[in-house]
Structure 1
Amino acid sequence: MEMAMAADELKSVLNRLRRAQGQIAGIIKMIEDGRDCEDVITQLAAVSRALDRAGFAIIATGLQHCMADGAQAPGDRDQMRARLEKLFLSLA
């Protein structure tokens, strides 16, 4: 499956990933500075959710493109569905 996404969809995913990247840098600094464990865990949970949302957005876009492409042969659709299901479950 290719990463062929519309520009606005890609921009949203990239923004989420950049935000997560910033959060991870902040978490590293928190640990280096000896910040409270609860604060670190709270930020880890936030970055985990951001990464999950980015992954789900990518999968949802794949599903949308797959469903829009009704010209595929039934076997191809079944194979695509199985691949998307596997990706989705890897994030669950």
Structure 2
Amino acid sequence: MAQHKSAEKRARQTKKRTDVNRARRTVARSAVKKVETAISSGDKAAAQAAIKLAQPELDKSVSKGVVKKGTASRKLSRLNARVKAMA
């Protein structure tokens, strides 16, 4: 447990930041899952609409430091490829 005033404050700040980052990560994962659901259902229009909503969410998570840039780029690239491959 924290022994100094500054360490106690750090612990409080870390807890708040963790909660915020967890919420941001959840929003990004949900957006990706919506795209994957649309792809598996075979609805190309819904998949394209979902990916347009997922891209800014992933970009936002990168700018906030929740997800690394390469990870988001890779996810978007693979999702885009899967949407384009739909018949």
Q: TM-score, normalised by structure 2?
A: 0.51
Q: CA deviation at 1:81?
A: 4.4
Q: CA deviation at 1:62?
A: 1.3
Q: Does 1:72 align with 2:44?
A: yes
Which of the pair has the greater relative contact order for Cα pairs under 8 Å at 6+ separation? Answer: 1
- Farther off after superposition, 45-54 or 75-84: 75-84
Q: CA deviation at 1:40?
A: 0.6
Give the match for residue 62 of structure 2: 89
* Alignment-mate amino acid for residue 41 of structure 1: R
8 Å Cα contact 1:66/1:80 also seen in 2 = no
Unmatched 5+ residue regions in structure 2? 66-87
Unmatched 5+ residue regions in structure 1? 1-34
Identical aligned pairs, as a percentage? 7
| Runs of 4+ off more than 6 Å | none
- 2:29 and 2:37 map into 1 onto residues whose CA distance is 12
Q: TM-score, normalised by structure 1?
A: 0.49
8 Å Cα contact 1:63/1:84 also seen in 2 = no
Cα displacement string for residues 62-87 of structure 1 (whole angstroms, at most 9, x for unaligned residues)? 11012111223475465344323212
SS, match of residue 16 in structure 2? helix
For the aligned residue pairs, the C-alpha RMSD in angstroms reads: 2.4
Give the match for residue 63 of structure 1: 32
Give the match for residue 47 of structure 1: 16
Q: CA deviation at 1:42?
A: 1.4
- 1:77 and 1:57 map into 2 onto residues whose CA distance is 16
Cα displacement string for residues 12-71 of structure 1 (whole angstroms, at most 9, x for unaligned residues)? xxxxxxxxxxxxxxxxxxxxxxx8121011110111011100110111111101211122
Equivalences, count: 58
